[in-house]
Structure 1
Amino acid sequence: MLQSMRDNLKGTAAIIVAAFFGFIMVIGGIDFFTGASGGSADQVAEVNGEKISNLDLQRAIQNRRSMIESQYGENVPADLLTDEQLRGPVLQQLVNSSVMRQAAQERGMVMSAASVDKEIVQMPGFQVNGQFDQQMFRDGLRRMGYSPAGFRQLLEQEMVMQQYIGSVADSAFATRAEAEEVVSVSMEERDFDYLTLSATPLLADMQVGDEEIQAYYDENQQNFQRPEQVAIEYIELTPEQFAASIDISDQDLRAQYEQEVKNFQASIRRHAAHILIEGDDEAAQKKVDEVQAKLNEGGEFEALAKQYSDDIVSREDGGDVGFTSGDVFPEAFEDALASLEVGEVSGAVKTDAGTHFIKLIEVADAEPPSFEERKAAIAARLRNAEAEREFVGALSRLGDLAYNAETLSGPAEELGLSVQKSPLFSRQGGAGITAEGKVIEAAFSPEVMEDGNTSDVLDLSENHSVVLKVVEHKPAGVKPLEEVKEEITQRLKRNKAGEQLASKAANIQSQVESGEALADVAAAEGLTLETSDKTRRGGFGARGEVVNHVFSMDAPKPGAKTLEQFTLGTGDVVVVQLRDARAGDLSRQSKEQRDALMQQLASMQGTSELAAVQKFLAGKADIEVSTVEE
């Protein structure tokens, strides 16, 4: 956390921290990064005089992209991750963020330093095994490009904004009348009986002629449309394809190990602590002088760190910032640390983070691991390095070899690779590599699909490339009869079976309406009568279909019954008799259920009110949105 934060956030750390920022965005409908840049020449929006820079927008877009990738993995369509697709919604979030933050500031809302510190140490992205970790915190800020003070300021703004959001949303409430209305519907109970006439026994003996099939096909061709499709052959290129065939000699392993040992022995790790005074104004200098004076008087370094240090992370540990091999902290910090003896404290040292008093706690020089301990790791590293070189070499040749090739078999053989072929897929993509947006775009491009050219080499990721040719093209149109004949046959059989079952169901319904009991009719027909009492809405499968239909029926009058027939998605026909319907009663719910319901309704009301407040604030705000030049 002590050096300038210039590196971009990448890899696993990106996912961890993006997940935290994404959480804030989801619960608040706002973006954490607004105002982070402090000022940029490229302005994309202005809200009541507060500028939103292009840097703010690009940071927020990358954050949203990381969220989507971490949530959905590698199969996210590429067009969902483009700047063009993300720019509008993300910019709107930035505007909303600015509007809400300004509203909080106008109302004098603040957040205590202790609350901000507590939030930082509880962030999962800065924890290891559930405990706050200083190194994770320092590395995270360094990669994101924030100083501790800048990050703390951003978090404080975010927490104040959440406080304002909470003041709106949490003040909402639900009335008992609203709860009773909800319960009357959601907790309604119905009693009914039903029997099912299965279509399955009829299908085996059902006959369908070719003329019927042809007629159905001619009359329903809109149901048999096929999208445009292509199949491709492709050469896939990754370092892993080369790694398996690479052998590493024992001599190379020994040489690499000996170099590691030399480097290890030359590396001295120093354990440091510091007292950080942020700022360069008169108050900061006064604080620096006071700390220096107390150190000169023999004051205990750890106690002074807890009292004076602005490093909220290390001060509770007496200023302990861990070990460095000379490349963790800013150059001035490292130089001062290297000049100290164990237990010695430096004078005031200035870096971009502020002024430091540095203490050398210990110097560590551990024994290097044995050759056997390092052998597997060294072999893997050398193998991967050689595979990377072969990958880069093959990648540089692939485009030339594939250019104007009639098939990809020649280039594949030249590179020692194999040609793979995909099934047909549409513009919506298919499975595996055909789900990649770049692959879909290339395969359906006119020069590849229509002209028969080989695609350019497509870089799907840093170490994953592919080149492709279209080997089959099916234009959009009606599927041929032979392709859908079996489907039509089964449809016609189900239709005929349904007609027979509907006739039988109508006969059963007529007998019941004439005064016979549904149970007696079912028994005479050899059918099973199902009884369902105190049934509530919902369910799955055929049972769910029955319940949903029952709750769509008109409630019977007292002492009467309602009888209907309907067809399930499977083709089976159901005859159902609704005997009673009772509205839900709030007073019949337990206290815990009532409290939970009132809380849920209040939350929904709060969300609605928050949206209304945000819309009102945005409506009266002076918002100017400009376009970004491409």
Structure 2
Amino acid sequence: DYYDDNRDQFFTEEMIDVAYVQLAKADLMSAVDVTSEALQAFYTDRIDLYTQDEQRRIAHILIAVSEDQDRNAALAKILEIQSELDAGVAFSELAKSFSEDPGSAAVGGDLGMAERDIFVAPFETAAFELASQGDISPPVETEFGFHLIQLSELEPATVTPFDLVAESVEQAYREETVKEDYVASMSELDEMAFEDSDLQGISDQLNLDIVELTGQGRGSTVGILANAAVKEALFSPDLMIDGNNSAVIELNDGAAVVVRVTAYAESMLKPFEAVTKEIETTLRQIKASGLAQSLALEVVAKLQAGEITRAVAEAYGVEWSVKTNMTRYQSDIPQALRTQAFALPKPSASAKSIGIAQLDDGDVAVVSVTNVRNPEDSPIAGMENQAIAQLLENQLGGLEFQRFQSSLQKLGDIQGQNF
């Protein structure tokens, strides 16, 4: 009796009706009273947020202190280079000739544009004390050795005018204004959710709409049920069985909800009468699949015995298809067929290589590989290759498969009700 043996297949999904209120920071922000004076004051107080820091293009010459070159030797060498600079030799040429920084020497010591907090402290202090483009520092000692530093280019700090950032200033002003109110409202919402037996009092007190969703299962992703924490709360015994409100659940940085279950339908076994047609269909499919497998085995036996493929296909009233030059990743051939075809051994001169493939749609295919060509085999070019391929398709076939769909459609209906 299929129904009794497979009862777990015929249970309804447990379902709930959901109600919730949502506190959204965006709603509080939209209610903020904004004036031009307030925005201008907010902008001025936070002018650093709208300021592009000073940018400097820095170049340097490094003489490293190492095992092969002690501190005194490195200092003497950097002082010699400084003398060359004083004599008018170009900084970039001296950097190319003498700098021991492999990353910048070839480009004249250039380190690119930089802001503060990029370099080690002594280097940065000296670099940002240079006042004018072209200025060169005295020797500066760091953990790497001695440097001469040049200010190659200077871009002063710039303040973005208010008019260009007015929209972002207003957004930031609204967010800052409601920050404390939002936290306070969440705290109040959480307290009321614990104390109240429904959502109506919360809705009235905080002016929040009650939203309802009906007929939701564990697999639902409708609205807030896409949130894992919400779903976990809704299907907990505390809400689903006891009927309590949830605690506040934060959906993201700007929204929080309190949810409750307003109706619960537990999972129940469907009566036999309600699933009779479903069972009949399933049993037909099982019987058809078994028959298809049996037919496939018969076809394989006949082909292995040497019977002609086309004649066998016609005898069973099934579709016969031929594919030549099939590749492992040919998308117009079902994957199960390709997998089976390339898993079969290479056919011999006197025998085909035959197997069975179970297709995704429930059909069964017999796969017969008649020839295998490796990539290194000498190809036949142009029209001659096409002509031979056409001949093979018409007469022999590279991949032959018989699908049993038409046979399955001929199966008789199942009679009776003893399942």
Decide whether aligned partners of structure 1 residues 444 and 274 sit closer, same or farther in structure 2, where only a CA change above 3 A counts: farther
RMSD of Structure 2 on Structure 1 (CA): 5.5
The answer to whether residue 6 in structure 2 is matched with residue 220 in structure 1 is yes
Counting matched residue pairs gives 371
Aligned to 1:407: 198
Does residue 251 in structure 1 map to residue 13 in structure 2?
no
8 Å CA contact 1:276–1:309 kept in 2: the answer is yes
User: Is this contact kept in 2: 1:270–1:361, CA < 8 A?
Assistant: yes
**Which of 377, 386, 389 is 1:588 aligned to?**
377
Q: TM-score, normalised by structure 2?
A: 0.60
Q: Aligned partner of 1:424: which letter? A: G
C-alpha distance in structure 2 between counterparts of 1:546 and 1:270, whole Å: 65
Distance 1:416-1:272 versus aligned 2 partners, 3 A rule? farther
Counterpart Cα distance in 2 of 1:267 and 1:507: 82
| TM-fit CA distance, 1:443 | 5.1
Within a 5 Å distance, the mapping from 1:14-413 to structure 2 comes to: 215-224=1-10, 233-235=19-21, 239-246=25-32, 248-256=34-42, 271-275=57-61, 283-284=70-71, 286-297=73-84, 298=86, 300-305=90-95, 307-308=98-99, 310=101, 312=103, 316=107, 318-324=109-115, 336-337=126-127, 339-342=129-132, 343-349=134-140, 357-365=148-156, 369-386=160-177, 388-408=179-199, 410-411=201-202
Q: Do the aligned residues in 2 keep the contact of 1:231 with 1:421 (CA within 8 Å)? A: yes
- Counterpart in 2 of 1:51? none
CA distance in 2, matches of 1:558, 1:488: 48
Q: Deviations for 1:452-474, whole angstroms, at most 9, x for unmatched residues? A: 54444445665565554455667
1:379/1:352 CA distance change after superposition, 3 Å: farther
Q: Which amino acid aligns with 1:346?
A: S
**1:290 corresponds to which letter in structure 2?**
K
Cα 1:541–1:449, aligned 2, differ >3 Å: closer, same or farther?
Answer: farther
Aligned-partner Cα distance in 1 for 2:99–2:345: 75
- Provide the C-alpha distance between the structure 2 equivalents of 1:461 and 1:569, rounded to a whole number of angstroms: 41
Provide the C-alpha distance between the structure 2 equivalents of 1:396 and 1:352, rounded to a whole number of angstroms: 53
Whole-angstrom CA distance in 2 between matches of 1:537 and 1:331: 61
Mapped to 1, the partners of 2:236 and 2:371 lie a distance apart of 61
Q: Deviations over 1:326-382 (max 9, x none)?
A: 666677666545543313333355678876544344554477555543333333333
Which deviations, in whole Å up to 9, do the C-alpha atoms of 1:515-564 show, x marking residues without a partner? 99664676688764322345455666983344555667788775567888
Residue identity opposite 2:131 in structure 1: E
- What SS is found at the alignment partner of 1:403? helix
3-state SS in 1 of match to 2:196: coil
CA contact (8 A) 2:304 2:352 kept: no
Q: 1:291 Cα shift?
A: 2.0
Q: Which moved more, 1:513-522 or 1:247-256?
A: 513-522
Deviates more, 1:497-506 or 1:535-544: 497-506
| Superposed displacement of residue 249, structure 1 | 3.0
Aligned-partner residue type, residue 36 of structure 2: D
For the residue of structure 1 that corresponds to 2:323, the secondary structure is strand
Q: What is the SS of the residue equivalent to 1:411?
A: helix
Change (3 A) 1:560 1:511: closer
Q: Could you list the runs of 5+ residues in structure 2 that have no partner in the other structure?
A: 380-419
Judge conservation of contact 2:58–2:112 (CA < 8 Å) in 1. Answer: yes
Would the aligned equivalents of 2:10 and 2:269 in 1 still touch at CA under 8 Å? Answer: yes
Aligned equivalents of 2:239, 2:64: Cα separation in 1: 60
Between structures 1 and 2, the one with greater helix share: 1
User: Deviation at 1:312?
Assistant: 3.4
Between structure 1 and structure 2, the one with the greater Rg is 2
Residues 523 and 483 (structure 1 numbering): CA distance in 2 closer, same or farther, change over 3 Å? Answer: same
Q: Which has the higher contact order (CA 8 A, sep 6+)?
A: 1
Which amino acid in structure 2 is aligned with residue 341 of structure 1?
Answer: A
Q: Does 1:530 align with 2:314?
A: no
Letter in 1 for 2:4: D
Question: How far apart are the structure 1 equivalents of 2:205 and 2:232?
Answer: 27
What's the TM-score once normalised by structure 1's chain length? 0.44
Residue aligning to 1:425? 218
SS in 2 for 1:588: coil
Do the aligned partners of 1:235 and 1:418 also contact (CA within 8 Å) in 2?
A: yes
- Distance (Å, rounded) in 2 between the aligned partners of 1:440 and 1:311: 58
Cα distance in 1 for residues equivalent to 2:72 and 2:223 = 61
- Pair 572,341 (structure 1): closer, same or farther in 2 beyond 3 Å: closer
* Corresponding position of 1:29: none
Aligned counterparts of 1:450 and 1:353: Cα–Cα separation in 2: 70
Amino acid in the other structure paired with 1:291: I
Q: Specify which of 492, 508, 512 is matched with residue 283 of structure 2.
A: 492
Matched to 2:35, the amino acid is S
Return the alpha-carbon distance in structure 1 between the equivalents of residues 267 and 65 of structure 2: 67
For the Cα contact (< 8 Å) 1:291–1:308, is it kept in 2?
no
3-state DSSP of counterpart to 2:150: strand
- Please tell me whether the aligned partners of residues 246 and 259 of structure 2 are also in contact (alpha carbons under 8 angstroms): yes
Displacement of 1:406 after TM fit? 2.7
* Alignment partner, residue 103 of structure 1: none
Q: Percent identity?
A: 26
Unaligned 5+ runs, structure 1: 1-214, 591-630
